[in-house]
Amino acid sequence: MFTSEKGVVEEWLSEFKTLPEASLPNYATNLKDKSSLVSSLYKVIQEPQSELLEPVCHQLFEFYRSGEEQLLRFTLQFLPELIWCYLAVSASRNVHSSGCIEALLLGVYNLEIVDKQGHSKVLSFTIPSLSKPSVYHEPSSIGSMALTESALSQHGLSKVVYSGPHPQREMLTAQNRYAVET
């Protein structure tokens, strides 16, 4: 990492700490326009031995839990890279350099599975019927399938899938890694 990129990240780390609460929405809006900061943060994340990785992960978690929508989105753009780096480091069995990334991923997961009051979330999804037209497809003209779908749609039956409640996690293991990271 170049000195200029390191300076950009260090300035970003100190800038947020001195920011008054009232100027947080304006700061969050302007943050997405700082392309040099975003590319520098990606470089920090890609270097697991970087001394800036731990404060960057801490700052991204602070952004995520701040409640400010733009700061949450700013953090979310780095999640795929963080997951990739965590998996790469854990595959190399260098557990010490992935601790801050693991803490960030667990923090994001644990915040996502509960609502603002701390109760477990249960999400429901309705699977659309293929017998009804949508912006994605026209109904099939296959006789037997159309008849079955038509009969089901007339009865008002629709398939609802529920997701949750999910347990909170304290650490990533081989058994829970997939569930936490997806």
- 81 and 109, same domain (yes or no): yes
Q: Identify the domain containing residue 130 by its residue range.
A: 123-162
Predicted pLDDT at 79: 94
- 30 and 54, same domain (yes or no): yes
Predicted pLDDT at 167: 67
- 42 and 74, same domain (yes or no): yes
CB 160 within 8 A of CB 126: yes
Per the confidence metrics, is the pTM higher than 0.85? no
What is the SS3 assignment for 135? coil
Predicted pLDDT at 123: 75
- 34 and 107, same domain (yes or no): yes
- Residue 49's contacts (CB-CB under 8 Å, 6 or more residues apart) are 97
- 96 and 130, same domain (yes or no): no
Give exposure, 137-176, as e/b (b: 16+ Cβ within 10 Å): eebeeeeeeeeebeeeeeeeeeeeeeeeebeebeebeeee
End-to-end CA, the chain: 30
- 62 and 19, same domain (yes or no): yes
- 150 and 98, same domain (yes or no): no
- 23 and 97, same domain (yes or no): yes
Structural domain count of the chain = 2
- 133 and 90, same domain (yes or no): no
pLDDT in tens, the chain (182 residues): 567 788 889 989 988 888 888 888 888 888 878 888 999 999 999 988 888 999 999 999 999 988 889 999 999 999 999 999 988 888 877 666 678 888 899 888 888 877 777 777 777 777 777 667 777 777 665 555 555 655 555 555 567 777 767 767 766 666 667 677 76
- 153 and 70, same domain (yes or no): no
Predicted pLDDT at 157: 53
Predicted pLDDT at 25: 85
Predicted pLDDT at 88: 87
- 65 and 111, same domain (yes or no): yes
